[in-house]
Amino acid sequence: MMQLTHAEENYLKAIYQLSEAGKKGVSTNDISAEMKTKPASVSDMLRKLGEKEVIEYRKYYGVHITEEGKKFALRTIRKQRLWEVFLVEKLRFAWDEVAEVADELEHVQSTILIQRLDEYLGFPKFDPHGDPIPDEYGDVRSRPRLPINEIDINGTGQIVAVKDSSAAFLRYLDKVGAYIGARIKVLEKVEFDGSIEILVDNKKTIFMSKDVAANILVMV
């Protein structure tokens, strides 16, 4: 079984996630932005990933991830999310503090380590941001979910995930009192700017911009 370097794992994970979001081919510039490296560096990496057949690479036309590539990406994502659960559940990290550390931990090579960690954590199905944790075969049991701004007025649901996991956004959610698991009801949608008022746990109302609403995912 061919091996990927840390850098290759990071790129492949980014490519997988970008292609999940956008569906079609992922551009060099997109990857460059996501990875905070220069487009020239991305081109070079794409060549290498292409040679390893984890992506299909047509010069100038973006990339598609292969089935083999998906397996690798999902393995890394599984590791990342299990470590995130560990950091939050066991080491009392806040959900906005886990990204950097998990991004390192995900590269530790040991099948048994991950199996044991999974078991130790009680086989969690979702990470602290509500993202599904692939099983060891790469199967992802994803929940149907909608951004709040697509919920009808008076519609209800439960917050199950966030689309943006940046520390800034997560801390904002903490501040206003939105969290994974919260039951919400859409009270009002302002036509003018798309901003939204929701009721949280039948107790507290929160006003949020359309931008914020679009990054909170709800299961109806």
Partner DNA sequence: ATAGACTTTTAGCCGACACTAAAAAATAAT
Partner DNA sequence: ATTATTTTTTAGTGTCGGCTAAAAGTCTAT
Q: Which residues bind DNA (CB under 7 A)?
A: 5-8, 10-11, 27-30, 36-48, 57, 59-62
> In this chain, which of 23, 24, 36, 92 binds a second copy, going by CB under 8 A?
92
CA distance 164 to 172: 11
Buried-exposed string 164-178: b where 16+ CB fall within 10 A, e elsewhere = ebeeebbebbeeeeb
Residues 108-147, one symbol each (x = binds a second copy by CB under 8 A, - = not), give xxx-xx--xx--x---------------------------
Q: How far is the CB of 14 from a second copy (least distance, A)?
A: 20
DSSP state at residue 68: H
| Sheet of strand 183-189, all strands in order from the earlier edge strand to the far edge | 146-147, 216-219, 156-162, 183-189, 196-200, 204-208
> In this chain, which of 14, 55, 105, 173 binds a second copy, going by CB under 8 A?
105
Residues 74-103, one symbol each (x = binds Mn ion by CB under 5 A, - = not), give ----------x------------------x
Handedness of CA 191, 195, 201, 204 (dihedral sign): negative
Which residues in this chain contact Mn ion in the complex, by CB under 5 A?
Answer: 10, 84, 103, 127, 129, 131
